[in-house]
Amino acid sequence: MNEIDASAANSRRRSRAGEIATGVIVILIGLVFLADNFGIDLLFFGWQNWWALFILVGAAPPAARAFDRYRQVGTIDAQVAHAMVSALAIATVALIFLLDASFALWWPIFLVIGGLSMLASGGRRRDRA
């Protein structure tokens, strides 16, 4: 298999992993709404912010990229770390809304995530060279 064929195969695998992760999250969102329709009270879930579930869906593609890259290289390299931090940032925003937490209280978590992103990005630049 030449380099172009290998690249195309990797691209298809990444695309499929992202589709699967996004599909699983959409299924979970549907199950949460179904539980509500059957009167199952989910105490962790602030229904006034149900729309934040759609923000959470945005965490699936970077999480799938991280998982796919980890399977490909067998270790947590800079690309895996960067995709994981990206997914974490998106999921954190969604969870703050879903749990009706105060941004005034939780904003420093974004400094931590930003620092993690800088650490992950530093190695990523060297990987590309």
Residue 97 · residue 52 · CB < 8 Å = yes
**Counted domains in the chain:** 1
String of b and e for 60-69 (b: at least 16 CB within 10 Å)?
bbbbbbbbbb
71-83 pLDDT tens trace: 999 999 999 999 9
Residues 35-73 have pLDDT tens digits of 878 888 776 655 678 788 889 889 988 998 898 899 999
What's the pTM value of the predicted model, to 2 decimals?
0.65
- Structural domain of residue 99, as residue ranges? 3-128
